[in-house]
Amino acid sequence: ATKILVTEAGGRFSDFAGSPSIYTGNAVISNGRVHDAVVNILRG
């Protein structure tokens, strides 16, 4: 349910690799505008 709420509100949800999967064991949730930058920072 979290993924649906986030995306309907304009946010983005992905794993640390940027994949929209919710089954990898990790998640990045953002407002959407900064999502790619946050994923890149987390990847190192």
CA angle 4, 22, 19 (to 5 degrees): 100
Segment 18-40, tens digit of pLDDT: 898 878 888 899 999 999 999 99
pTM of the model: 0.74
Provide DSSP, 1-44: -HHHHHHHTT-EEE-TTS---S-SS--EEE-STTHHHHHHHHH-
Residue 1 has pLDDT above 90, yes or no: no
- What backbone phi and psi angles, to 5 degrees, belong to 14? -155, 175
